[in-house]
Structure 1
Amino acid sequence: MDGQSSVSKMMVWTPMSKVRENRKKYKRKYRLRKDMETVEYTAGIKTCGSCAKRPPEERNFEISNIAEVFLSKLTLLSSRVDRESTTEATKTFSIHYKDQTPALDLECSKEDIARGWVTGIQHLMRKRRTETIIDKRKRWISEYFHKGKNTDDRLESKEAKAVLSQMNIQIKESQIDTVIQKLDKDQTGALSLDEFTQFYNVMTAREEIEELFDKWKSDGPDEADPPHDSRYAVDGDNMRVHELMEFLAQEQKVATDTKGCQQLIERFEPNSELKKKKLLSLEGFTLYLQSAEGDVFNHTHDQVYQDMTQPLSHYFIASSHNTYLLEDQLRGPSSKEGYVKVLLKGCRFLELDCWDGDDGEPVIYHGYTLTSKVLFREVIEAIGRYAFKKSPYPVFLSLENHCSVVQQRTLAAHMVNILGDSLCNIPATSDMQELPSPQRLHGKIIVKNKKLKQNVVEDDVSDEDEAAETEDVEVQERVKTSKKKTIKLAKELSDLVNICHAVHFHSFEHSRENDMPYNISSIKEGKANHLVEDQAADFIDHTKRQLVKIYPSGGRVDSSNIDPHLYWAAGCQIVALNYQTPCDQMDLNLGLFRQNGRCGYVLKPEALRDEQTRLDTSKNIPDKYKKMLKIKVISGFQLPTPEGDWSEGSAVDPYVKVQVYGVPADCAEEGTEVVKNNGFHPVWNCDMAFPLTFPDLALVRFEVKEHDTMSDSETIGQFSLPVSSMQQGYRHVHLLSKDQEDLSPAALFIHVSLQ
């Protein structure tokens, strides 16, 4: 079915049934709004007894918040009986969201209706990914216009002011009235969409960009140019090709040629007449600076650009902790959605705490706590569906095994039956010199667990690591008092373990003498902190050959996170974080893995991989690595309120913190002054300098905060990225919320220099 025709059909109310986890169905009506950004639905609410039904309640969700939509040949929420049935399969589709919203299963009356909605939503998602900065701005303005317009498809003065408030444009009402009078060409007292677009452009003009533009454009023709050329009439107001090329080379540190500059003008200049004359206006220049090309993040790193043929131990790996948990560590829900959400964010290391369940079916939950339980089988089904949606590179399943031998066999059977050929089958041999590469393990799932000795059918193995990671007082006491800390391991489960054989960490010396490359150790944050501080060079040498997992202490019951950069600086590949927790640490984690196509693997700096290099990142780093990072925070643009509620349009008092994370010597923070009552267009012009001893490991985090003298300042927006992915020159930092949602058009305007 054609995407656009599917979108058209979605604009008509369509009856569907929402299917809950308990298989209960609730009748709804869904349709796509005319803005093609929002799906709205109605739900009739019945009251008891003889009371009349209340009118249907309208609700909605945004297309931009959808991470994945697909036909549910089998719904992940279905019961076992329904999964074996095919009568309803093709009439159902599933929507998964980017945020914490639970997945939505919808059942239609016909197969082609479900297929049409999936096709239509995918078409809209694809259009958003491929739209230009000009299209994006038009869509954004149109979205707000349609929210506030009257029945005549126009915005009257009062409505325009309300829309500007929602857009967080804080300007005096008298100034708004003056501009409306100038732009209201037909004198109706209201603005059409085109007039409102012009209105928006006037209201959002930025002096700092105009000054930069004036600095690089000429005031007229070159003396060598022939006279009486009609194009000179506009040259003085616009930038010519050679001027643009000089700006890109000198300021932006971008090498290009005449053809490249002409293509840039073709893409960003909105005036067709200026395009023909190969001229760039102030508006086109502004659009360039606001685009991906003008972003602080180097978008060539949106693709996998690093060497993926090196051993697994040479990569940082995006890793989660207690992946099944959606909230805290003691009482929150366990769900397969936890696995879906982290996989869609590029996570490659998943944890599964496995315990005996009812009816012979093992379950996953945080043992000895009040967290809910989820069937192991359902989690494996979800992993099987989503493992390679966002990245083709290997996924680790870290099993914390507390099951009886009987249910261990069930664990193994489910993995074999559901994951099949995707399970890694590379043998771990005694002559293995290094781990296989992510490229070799393309599309493979690696099981991490204990392993029996060769030719042993069933035996006791140490459960020291499992007990430590459980962090339960009862289990810890058993570990302390028992001389032999063991569990019985089934051969069927052991046979699935090959290149990720879990062993207890004793010391670096012990590992050098006894461990193989396929051995992996788990180290708790407290012990890891001492090792990083006292034996960083040994730690780095160890991680050149073997994988190490760092996990948080049991005291973090609120699902708070450890500082991952401390362990990355020591070469640790797997730093397990609670992905459900928005925090500075998660910002850094997602910032590091933003590069290399967000594939979940980042090649470590050469000094952390090279066998001939002995480096201690905790001190005395050689001068040859040093650089100076200079950042000028110039201004902000359309900053939201801390709560993200723009409806009141209240002014904020913003300031900016710039933080550098990396090796201990490089960790630093600087901040701007507070700008009072201006979230629309605050100007700071604040210069900062950060000397970096090891820039290849450095990350920069921008955080915009609302100044509050009475309590802790709240975060307005943030963005993190590696220094190696920063573009130099005049750049925009497009802000994200604490939950990693896009806050466009909210941004910082900065200048970056790396010397």
Structure 2
Amino acid sequence: MGLEAEDDHTVPGTPGYLDPASFPSASITVKALYDYQARNDDELSFPKHAIISNVDSRAEGGWWRGDYGGKRQHWFPSNYVTEIEPQHNKDESSGDSLLLGNLQKGSLDVVGAVVEVVPASGGIHRGLECLLRLHNPSMTHVLEVGAETREEASEWMRTIKETAQSASVRETQHKAMERAFRVAKEMSVLIVYCRSVAFNLDKAKKRFVYNEMSSFPETKGEKIMCVQETPFFLKYHQIQFSRVYPKGQRIDSSNYNPVPLWNVGSQMLALNFQTPDKAMQLNHAKFRLNGGCGYLLRPSFMFSESYDPYDPTMLCGVPRVKVLLRVLAARHLTRSGRCTTSPFVEVEVQGADYDTGLKLTTKTVSDNGFNPTWNEACEFMVHNPEMALLRFVCQDEDMFGDSNFIGQATYPVSSL
């Protein structure tokens, strides 16, 4: 009895799996660890550091086969070599980053390289008197360059050795400098714009150094920048950077209010990003501007000599904004673990000290988180809209009169 194939795509007799051993193994390249002299005609002879290509390592008994010195697939002991990573050809379009453009096909590290001049053999070396042989332990192949005369080859060898010696001297000098200054070169090249220094008020008052930056814990930053030395730090932040970070006592990863420090010009305020509290919500709202790229230009009035973050009459050329707002309704307001909610909405402004405050609190809609409506309006002035953030908070009032957070949304007033 025979069986016919249900379609034309089945092939009788095809095995159900493929043996990986049936595929030819990818050829590898190895480098000789020791010299080896062949004992039989089917073996390879090679010096230390020789590169053997197209190696077949599937053979057993400690012997592999490969190509070297014009011989193909001859045997050699596997414990005399080590496998090296193959070099892939780079895209020719990358020539723009090379010194000589597409004319440059590669480069060699001559520091520690072995350079020698050897007589040229016949065959492919016909017409050449000498070969310049160069090898570096990091190279996968020995480089051989032909020369028509021994003088030319010797001149190249002398130039390469002088270049390698000069590079070695520079490397030694760099290492000595790293030990003397305790600064690694790799780390030093990353420090382009500023260096971190401990803040000294007396020294800072004598002169500003644009490429120096100081860090402050939040308690010191709020005290010295926002209270004691506000006029000084308004000028300081026109020239230098400051960083403020949470105090060590915040073991719960809570955050400080960044708004007052923004108002006096501090450029970098570190927050605990893992905590989505009010401070982090304000931070996200602040950097909604400029496409959310994380970088904002400070308003031009902050560079005015008359600017005072606590006095609205000192704002120069900043038009006030009148906000007319009506809270209409909401939909599907829920809290985890509760079937019903009694929501209400708070509207507040966070910004300059004279603008900050609660502007509206709606009535509570009892036991209706599905479609509560308020239809309540408010009107207020914002004297410094460039620094102001408008925040909407929806809360749930429980049976004890306590407020429980449901959700929020915060936006820069200047983007409305």
Q: TM-score, normalised by structure 2?
A: 0.53
Partner of 2:351: 662
Q: CA deviation at 1:620?
A: 5.1
1:641 lines up with 2:331 in the alignment: no
Residue 457, structure 1, aligned to residue 178, structure 2 = yes
Paired with 2:370 and 2:280, the residues of 1 have a C-alpha distance of 27
Q: Which has the larger radius of gyration?
A: 2
1:583 maps to 2:277: yes
Contact 1:630 1:687 in 2 (8 A): no
| Structure 1, unaligned runs of 5 or more | 1-454, 461-487, 727-755
SS at match of 2:227: helix
Match among 622, 632, 636 for residue 314 of structure 2? 622
Q: Offset of 1:626 from its aligned partner?
A: 5.5
Aligned counterpart, 1:599: 293
Give 1:496 deviation, angstroms: 2.5
User: What are the superposed Cα offsets for residues 698-751 of structure 1, whole Å, 9 maximum, x if unpaired?
Assistant: 01111011112427422111101110011xxxxxxxxxxxxxxxxxxxxxxxxx
Shift of 1:633: 3.2
- The 2-side partners of 1:631 and 1:709 are apart by 32
Q: Is the 8 A contact 1:705 1:713 kept in 2?
A: yes
Provide the residue aligned with 1:569 in structure 2.
Answer: 263
Q: Is 1:673 aligned with 2:363? A: yes
1:458 positional shift: 3.9
CA distance in 1, matches of 2:324, 2:394: 15
Aligned residue number for residue 710 of structure 1: 400
The Cα of 1:490 is off from its aligned counterpart by 4.0
* Aligned-partner Cα distance in 1 for 2:292–2:388: 18
Q: Would the alpha carbon gap of residues 555 and 547 (structure 1) be closer, same or farther in structure 2, given more than 3 Å must change?
A: same
Distance 1:636 1:496, change over 3 A: same
Alignment of structure 1 residues 316-331 onto 2, 5 Å: none
Determine the structure 2 residue equivalent to 1:554: 248
Greater helix proportion: 1
Query: Are the aligned partners of 1:660 and 1:666 in contact in 2 as well (CA < 8 Å)?
Result: yes
CA distance in 2, matches of 1:525, 1:685: 40
* 5+ long unaligned stretches in structure 2: 1-175
Aligned AA for 1:638? R
The structural deviation recorded for 1:492 is 4.1
User: Equivalent residue for 2:385?
Assistant: 695
- SS of the residue aligned with 1:625? coil
Residue of structure 2 in register with 1:524 after alignment: 217
Alignment partner of 1:543 is 2:237: yes
Q: Which amino acid aligns with 2:212?
A: N
| Matched residue, 2:411 | 721
* 1:160 counterpart residue number: none
Pair 491,559 (structure 1): closer, same or farther in 2 beyond 3 Å? same
Inter-CA distance 537–693: structure 2 relative to 1 (3 Å threshold): farther
CA 711–684 in structure 1, closer or farther in 2 if over 3 Å, else same: closer
Partner residue of 1:55? none
Cα distance in 2, alignment partners of residues 614 and 459 from structure 1: 47
Q: 1:538 to 1:691 in 2, by over 3 A?
A: farther
Q: Could you tell me how far apart the structure 2 residues matched to 1:700 and 1:683 are?
A: 21
- Counterpart-to-counterpart distance in 2, 1:517 and 1:671: 46
How far, CA to CA, are the matches of 2:255 and 2:264 in structure 1?
A: 18
Letter of the structure 1 residue corresponding to residue 251 of structure 2: V
Aligned Cα root-mean-square deviation (Å): 2.4
Offset, 1:535: 2.5
Identity across matched positions, percent: 32
Q: Greater relative contact order (Cα 8 A, min sep 6): structure 1 or 2?
A: 1
Is the CA contact (8 Å cut-off) linking 1:636 and 1:679 kept in structure 2? no
Within 2, Cα distance between the matches of 1:651 and 1:517? 57
Residue aligned with 1:498, SS = coil
Distance in 2 between the 1:458 and 1:526 partners? 37
- Please report how far the alpha carbon of residue 587 of structure 1 lies from its aligned counterpart in structure 2 after TM superposition: 0.6
What is the SS of the residue equivalent to 1:659? strand
Q: CA deviation at 1:662?
A: 0.8
Kindly indicate whether the alpha-carbon contact (under 8 Å) linking 2:395 and 2:407 is maintained by their aligned counterparts in 1: yes
Secondary structure class of the residue paired with 1:457: helix
The answer as to whether partners of 1:631 and 1:687 remain within 8 angstroms in 2 is yes
Secondary structure of residue in 1 paired with 2:392: strand
Runs of at least 4 residues of structure 1 off by over 3 A?
455-460, 488-492, 512-515, 623-626
SS in 2 for 1:697: coil
Partner Cα distance (1:634, 1:654) in 2: 13
What SS does structure 2 have at the residue aligned with 1:577?
coil
Q: Deviation of residue 667 (structure 1)?
A: 1.0
Shift in Å, 1:651: 3.1
